[in-house]
Amino acid sequence: MNNHLRNHRHWLVSGAVLAVAGLYVALVYVPGRGKLSEMRKQLAAKQVPLDTAGTVLASVASTQKELDRTERFVGRWRTENPTPSGLAPVLSELHALAQLAGVSIVRLDPQPLQVFETIKRGSLTLTCTGRYRAVHRFLFQIEQSRQQIWVDGVSVRMAGGNEGNVVAEVVLVMFADNRDISH
């Protein structure tokens, strides 16, 4: 009978352990697994903005660098470019560049000043004559000028004689800070 009692205890202990394991699975593991799955979904949903935060920060840093470059350019432009009344240095530089290139300026025809919100735009039609290569060199020097002069249009035709000269009509555009409004 001792053996029978021992088997009965064995089955009783095994049954109790099995019952506790079943209760654990039913009351803890299965509900916990569902909660764990839900928490994983929430974590994944919250991870998406964190993953994109790196690209947003890189974009912000890139935009800040571009803004810094733009502010430096505008600051330099405001100090180096003429006011509308200070066009004399521009005309002086054009004359010097023409002499350096070997062309003759035969006409300067300023157009009316256009006033915008933060800048003023001045146009000037310049007619010059000289060898084709000299005119080309003159235009190149204008584009390389410190004065921020834009070549807006060029018309080239042969000069009247047989000297091999050309006549170029060049529309130049210069911008100046509209100091009345922009500060």
pLDDT (tens place) for every residue of the chain, 183 residues total: 566 666 677 777 788 878 887 887 777 777 877 787 888 888 888 777 766 777 878 888 888 888 888 777 766 655 655 555 566 777 888 899 999 999 999 998 888 878 888 778 888 899 999 999 999 999 999 888 877 788 889 999 998 776 789 999 999 888 777 666 544
Name the domain boundary from 34, 57, 80.
80
Cβ burial of 135 (10 Å; 0-12, 13-18, 19+) is buried
Q: Is residue 182 situated within a structural domain?
A: no
Six token digits for residue 170: 């060049």
The angle that helices 88-101 and 132-143 make with each other, rounded to 10 degrees, is 140
Whether the model clears a pTM of 0.85, i.e. scores above it, the answer is no
Rounded-to-integer distance, Cα 92 and Cα 98, Å: 10
Query: Quick check: 146 and 105 in contact, CB under 8 A?
Result: no
Residue 26, domain extent: 1-80
Q: Is residue 172 situated within a structural domain?
A: yes
Do 50 and 131 belong together in one domain? Answer: no
Do 69 and 100 belong together in one domain? Answer: no
Cβ burial of 149 (10 Å; 0-12, 13-18, 19+) is buried
